[in-house]
Amino acid sequence: MKLFAKNILLATGWAKDQLLTIEQGVIQVITDGSEQQADQVVATVIPGMVNCHSHAFQRAFAGFSEQGSEGKDSFWTWRNVMYQFLEQLSVEDAELIATQLYIEMLKAGYTRVAEFHYLHHDNNGQPYTKLSEMAKALFKASKNSGLGLTMLPVLYQYSGFGQQPPNHGQRRFINSIEQFNQLVSDCAQLAQETPNTNVGIAPHSLRATDKEGINQAVAHVRSIDKQAPIHIHIAEQQKEVDDCIAHYGKRPVQWLLDNITVDKHWCFIHATHIDESELSGMIETGAIAGICPTTEANLGDGIFPTTEFMARQGTIAIGSDSHISVNPVEELRLLEYAQRLIKQQRAILATTATPSVGLNLWQQAAKGGAQSTSSNTGEIAVGKQADLLVLDQAKLNCFATGDKYNLDSLIFASQSNCIKDVMVNGQWVIQDYHHPLEQQSQASFSELLAKLSS
Ligand code: ZN
């Protein structure tokens, strides 16, 4: 197809009156052009956003965990409630929740998700006949919705540092290394059968794995794909850092950098609590900082030193994690605002070359997200997958518009969704704010929520 864009954010910057030739999901040609040459004409186009961190089933739990108990709530009490919640979920429930979530993601401007998937077994903790049964539900949700998927099966071995045995709430997560590597191979097969998907792995955290487990899992997935993404929860909570120091004598990021070979396909999720030397170490390896601003705020995790990391050309990506919010605009806004509140300054996450905070954050997070999923996405350029968002010009016109301001208006000024149409892998999946399955999906999801909360 030939798509004419009046305004488009290319990898090289904003351009006007561009004609894109898209075939087999990929942008083949970009030239100056006219409306008459096109099959379709659109106003303002930006690249789709990659969501680097998702636990899909947690979408159904959002809103159930905001009842206070006299200031005694923390990440750890939240986690206990979450464990109780997931005990009830079946494979069918998981597919239904993920389909609803992925439609929401598309409507908000995400075009791909990295699924940090740890709900592996049935509610007695027994493996399904096929180890990948639960993962398959997420591949189906990707296919149903049209959202690109990077499946990251999670290696979960222990309940705490020092190989502590898993607790009852974790029985659905646990695999031996042999089982886990089989699961990864099965997922690689599912990825071959499902368009626009790929596979990596996620050692859950240093508390839930060990060096031998991580190395064996990495060796296996890299024998399937040399660029397979590897994600890990690393330093989300201060307690996690303290426990790591008590056990290993080192902070988590430092231990990981000293003990495991890390490269640019590694994504450190919640590297929230890092010191100066860990920050330098991350930047030297090219590892990505996977930041989840709304979840980190919701869980009381802390604030990643984004200013210092980006000032040294560190690569960032954003994720919606617990899905308390499903909206890249809100993630990026909070990412900047957290820095402003700490530093008592303004317009921080910008550069001399890109003084617009909104533009800088959107471009950096989309590119970093593409790197974190080893996917051919994140920018609009020849040879890249056609993952595009069309913004609502009428809504944008209510704010500062033009190259310099578009993304600032989108992220900071507009309080309603401006993403009108969404193309993934060359196919329109959202048109005029609607997804073909949204009504049906929403009805099934509401029914499930009523059942789960009764
Ligand atoms: Zn997570």
CATH of the domain at 424: 2.30.40.10
User: Taking residues 429-435, what's their average pLDDT?
Assistant: 98
How many angstroms is it from 390 CA to the middle of ligand 1?
A: 30
Q: Specify the number of domains making up the chain.
A: 2
Does residue 453 sit within a domain?
A: no
When the pLDDT of each residue in the chain is averaged and rounded to a whole number, the result is: 96
Instruction: Write down the pLDDT at residue 305.
Output: 98
- Tell which residue, 43, 172, 167, has the closest CA to residue 117: 172
- Judge if 8 and 109 occupy the same domain: no
Q: Which of 321, 387, 392, 408 is catalytic?
A: 321
Q: Which of 53, 120, 270, 273 is catalytic?
A: 270
Give the range of the structural domain holding residue 410, as residue numbers without chain letter: 2-47+381-438
Q: Is 93 in the active site?
A: no
Instruction: Write down the pLDDT at residue 80.
Output: 85
Inform me whether the pLDDT recorded for 324 exceeds 90. Answer: yes
- Judge if 354 and 210 occupy the same domain: yes
Sign of CA dihedral 95, 97, 98, 102: positive
- Judge if 395 and 354 occupy the same domain: no
- Judge if 106 and 37 occupy the same domain: no
How many angstroms is it from 439 CA to the middle of ligand 1?
A: 28
Which band of pLDDT confidence, cut at 50, 70 and 90, is reported for residue 243? very high
- Judge if 53 and 43 occupy the same domain: no
Give the count of beta carbons closer than 10 Å to the beta carbon of residue 288: 26
Instruction: Write down the pLDDT at residue 263.
Output: 98
User: Taking residues 11-37, what's their average pLDDT?
Assistant: 97
Instruction: Write down the pLDDT at residue 44.
Output: 96
User: Taking residues 137-159, what's their average pLDDT?
Assistant: 98
How many angstroms is it from 260 CA to the middle of ligand 1?
A: 21
User: Taking residues 331-357, what's their average pLDDT?
Assistant: 97
Residue 56 gets which letter from DSSP?
G
- Judge if 230 and 336 occupy the same domain: yes
User: Taking residues 243-255, what's their average pLDDT?
Assistant: 98
Instruction: Write down the pLDDT at residue 75.
Output: 87
- Judge if 157 and 232 occupy the same domain: yes
- Cβ atoms of 154 and 117 closer than 8 Å: yes
Rounded to an integer, what distance in angstroms lies between the CA atom of residue 443 and that of residue 453? 16
Do the bridges between strand 388-391 and strand 40-47 make them parallel or antiparallel, or are there none, so unpaired?
A: antiparallel
Does residue 443 sit within a domain?
A: no
How many angstroms is it from 55 CA to the middle of ligand 1?
A: 6
Residue 414 region, left (φ>0) first, then alpha (ψ -120 to 50), else beta? beta
Inform me whether the pLDDT recorded for 454 exceeds 90. Answer: no
- Judge if 28 and 53 occupy the same domain: no
Q: Is 387 in the active site?
A: no
- Judge if 210 and 182 occupy the same domain: yes
Rounded to an integer, what distance in angstroms lies between the CA atom of residue 342 and that of residue 349? 13
Name residues whose C-beta falls within 8 Å of residue 249's C-beta, 6 or more positions apart in sequence. Answer: none
Instruction: Write down the pLDDT at residue 380.
Output: 98
Which band of pLDDT confidence, cut at 50, 70 and 90, is reported for residue 363? very high
How many angstroms is it from 60 CA to the middle of ligand 1?
A: 15
